[in-house]
Structure 1
Amino acid sequence: MTAKPPTPADLALSDAVGRGDADAARAALRAGADRERRDGQGRTPLLLAALADRVAVAEVLVGAGADVNAQDARDDSAWLVTGVTGSVAMMRTLLPGGPDVTLTNRFGGVSVVPASERRHVAYVRAVLAETDIDVDHVNRLGWTALLEAVVLGDGGRAHQDVVAALLAAGADPALPDGDGVTARAHAERRGFEAVADLLRRAESQGGEGPRAGGGGR
């Protein structure tokens, strides 16, 4: 079945998203633009706005009822993309749209997992505080956000703060990966002493970690 060609309003909306022009996006929607129209990769205008961190345009689209959970051919959604970009402003813009925080990306992870690997400290703290996202969600690789921060992290201050934030939110330091290796064992093997110390303390406290932001101090 051939896709219906875009209308002038659809093209205007696409252009507005690309330029980050909220007023033009609003005008395009009033002119009848399809807020859920997908491009060749299955991306909606809202997903494209999230990818480019066009917060003002996203606010217009969410206000118009755009689906924050619509996934593209790669299983990305506007909400899931915030875990990659680390944009707290975009995350908060999407919240009124009712994001499904259990939605997973192509690796089987929820948004806090890639955010932890990419050391988006502010995002990790915000999404854990402002949603009921599962801090111990396990992706297809067998990794939680805590494991991802250690296995794919560099052990530096930002990753220490991510680990601290996850532990403060109740992440279980004893959960192992698919091979039975815990985050602490990974940290010790890689020489991440500050991270390993955070995890040892959390284990000794029965999984209750230090307050976020305390790592490495």
Structure 2
Amino acid sequence: MKHVLRAGLILVLGVFAMAAMGQNGQASLLDAAAAGRTAEVSRLIAAGADLEARDAQGRSPLLLAVAGNHVAIAKALLAAGANINAQAADRDTPWLLAGAAGRAEIVAAMIPLKPDLTIRNRYGGNALIPACERAHVETVKLLLSSGIDLDHVNDLGWTCLLEIVILGDGGPRHQEVAKLVLDAGADPSLADKDGLSPLAHARQRGQRAVAALIEKAGGR
């Protein structure tokens, strides 16, 4: 009888130990991804840690890796099957954040995995709009190859071209992203909620080079 009780106790303790290891593995993967501890992440992935564990803000290990620009970790998580469309409490996904933050190398690794281009960020935008606003030139080039909607209008009533003008500084990098999206076929005359076109905004702001690009593309 004692042997049976002892065996049962060992089994119960083993189950609790495994459960604790699983929880610790999830927490450790989140922590390791956020901190950029590549070797630890690789070890945890190999040990079967939950790739879709979430922190208190609903952020996955992949989203944390993108936020920290930990490229090797992001690639390891992607290779292991981490979800690029997992949305956090603030509506960021790894894909959306990679675009907005200008993580060009991570965006390049994500494109072959066919991200969901219909998911929107907290402003109702796609990955291209904030990438253009912040003039992430290399990231914009990559996003344009993904089939993303060039003329998507966010909750503010702005397209990527409007954000380039309204929130940009008209300098060389914003000129470059304006040319990129216009050459890719963005509508040069799609106006905001008040009926002001990108060209009108560019003229108001004294962005002569950007205005010239819009005019050349047929903007009015």
Counterpart position of 1:13? 29
> Secondary structure of 2:48's partner?
coil
More helix by share: 2
1:10 to partner: Cα distance: 1.8
- Counting aligned pairs with the same residue, the percent is 46
Counterpart position of 2:99? 83
Counterpart position of 1:196? 211
Counterpart position of 2:5? none
Contact between 2:103 and 2:139, CA under 8 Å: does it hold in 1? yes
RMSD: 1.7
Measure the CA separation in 2 of the matches of 1:22 and 1:96: 23
1:25 and 2:26 correspond:
no
What does the per-residue CA deviation read over 1:156-202, in whole Å, with 9 as the maximum and x for residues that have no partner? 11111111001011001011011111000000011111111111111
1:12 to partner: Cα distance: 2.9
> Secondary structure of 1:179's partner?
coil
> Secondary structure of 1:72's partner?
coil
Measure the CA separation in 2 of the matches of 1:133 and 1:154: 24
What does the per-residue CA deviation read over 1:51-100, in whole Å, with 9 as the maximum and x for residues that have no partner? 11111111111111111000101100000001221111010122243311
Measure the CA separation in 1 of the matches of 2:118 and 2:50: 26
State TM-score, norm by structure 2: 0.86
1:43 to partner: Cα distance: 0.3
Measure the CA separation in 1 of the matches of 2:214 and 2:118: 26
What does the per-residue CA deviation read over 1:24-45, in whole Å, with 9 as the maximum and x for residues that have no partner? 2121122231110100000000
Counterpart position of 1:36? 52
Counterpart position of 1:212? none
- Of 59, 68, 84, 2:84 maps to 68
Runs of 4 or more off by more than 3 Å in structure 1? none
Counterpart position of 1:123? 139
> Secondary structure of 1:7's partner?
helix
1:114 to partner: Cα distance: 0.3
Measure the CA separation in 1 of the matches of 2:196 and 2:165: 12
The count of residues paired between Structure 1 and Structure 2 equals: 201
